[in-house]
Amino acid sequence: MNLEKSLSLLSFFVYHIHHRTMRSQRFLHVLLMLFLVSGISAQETRQLSAEAEALLQCLKDIEGVKTLSGTMANVNWNINEAKWVHQHTGKWPALNCFDYIHHPFSKKGGWIDYTNVTEVYNWHRQGGVVAIMWHWNVPTNDGNDYTCTPGTGAGETSFDVRKIFEPESDEYKLMMKDLDTIISYLKLLKQRKIPVLWRPLHEAGGQWFWWGMNAEACNELWRVMYQRFQDAGLNNLIWVWTTAAAWNKPYSDGYKWYPGDEYVDIVSIDVYNKSNAATIYRTCYKFLKNSSPDKLVALTECGSVPTISKQWQAGSKWLFFVPWYDYDRTKDPNSEDFQSTDHNNCNAAWWTEAFSNDYVLSREDFKQELQTSINAVRTEQTFAPSGSYDLFGCPWTDGRRGIFIKNGKKYIRK
């Protein structure tokens, strides 16, 4: 809704509130509040941290021209796959994705400790992009373990995502408790000025995770998460949504699980065991571009797929790509298995070929791209020039820090 239409409708409501009876006034007051709330989107009210804003702008700058290479942590909280790629190619991938999969077991000083962010911080400090996903595990039906796989078996879960609409239910309370736990972890990264590509509730449309068992409820859960994270001050997140479709369903079916443009920055897909680059372009990349023309498009997981150059030449100009991990190959960087160039998803030859293309960015390459992007559209200021506005359209006052806009360009004052 543009400003002119908004003001016109607002004037209409104010006029009629003034001229109606008391009962009508109360009714129109409600309509006015609904109008004001609905007219402000989540994206319009969000103010990203300077670091997240710079990262997002850089990603927009390179879209369709270059692509970030990426690796997935071996299960949870490490850069083992990135180390393996570096060992066999001499280059570090630009992005590493971590996973909060073991949050029920995380304990300070324990075998998994998500409060220890040393690995993530070091990756960021060396110029790497940090992505985090969340295999959201909940108690199994027998109460002896945790899982994200729905079903009635003892080791599966009957956890009902529809309870997101019932704040008094045990499921709702557990969801809020878990969200607050994840907030506490992400705040540790915010405190260190680390922007995060945040990928929750992935592949919901496939309905092989409990959160995907009902589309309406899953979308509500995403929006509740988004707002709860916003309220907690997590302005360092760039939100990544991953589509999927259940067996024998068209990919378009996956968009039933789409929470809305205002809650998503990047749309993505996971591709496995497809050998034809043209098919990947037509059914995956082009599909996402057509479905979400205003969003960046990424390949968030892949395995046993054509080389990046073949995909690129076919038209799939992914923002970034992330081969899935090979557990046995990279679980122990000191093992003999780690020395092998074989890999269940993308072997060393696949990676060597990827880095032979100048549009595939390594970690070092991306550091330069990020700096170039910052220099191009954001000049550090020691004062706020007249005629400047903040991201909400309010005049900028001298002495403030953050992002301001001058003549259509964004600047950072630190």
Among candidate residues 301, 336, 353, 369, the one labeled active-site is 301
Which residues face 24 on adjacent strands? none
Provide the 3-class DSSP secondary structure of residue 241. Answer: strand
**Dist. CA 164–CA 138, nearest whole Å:** 14
3-class SS shares of the chain: helix, strand, coil, % to 5: 45, 15, 40
Spatial CA neighbour of 338 closest among 349, 327, 346: 327
- Tell me, yes or no, if 203 is annotated catalytic: yes
> Rounded CA gap, 413 and 399, in Å?
9
* 266 within 8 A of 289, measured Cβ to Cβ: no
Tell me how many helices (H) and strands (E) the chain has: 14, 13
Residue whose structure tokens are 């409501």: 13
| Separation in Å, CA 101 to CA 19, 73, 75 | 58, 11, 8
Please state, in angstroms and rounded to a whole number, the distance separating the CA atoms of residues 1 and 44.
11
Q: Which of 53, 81, 203, 369 is catalytic?
A: 203
353 has catalytic annotation: no
The count of other CB atoms within 10 Å of the CB of residue 405 is: 15
CA neighbours closer than 13 Å in the CB half-sphere of residue 178: 23
**Integer Rg of the chain from CA:** 23
The two structure tokens encoding residue 266: 């990047």
Neighbours of 401 (CB within 10 A): 11
Q: Are 115 and 190 in contact (CB under 8 A)?
A: no
Q: Are strands 296-303 and 266-272 parallel, antiparallel or unpaired?
A: parallel
Q: Which residues are catalytic?
A: 203, 301
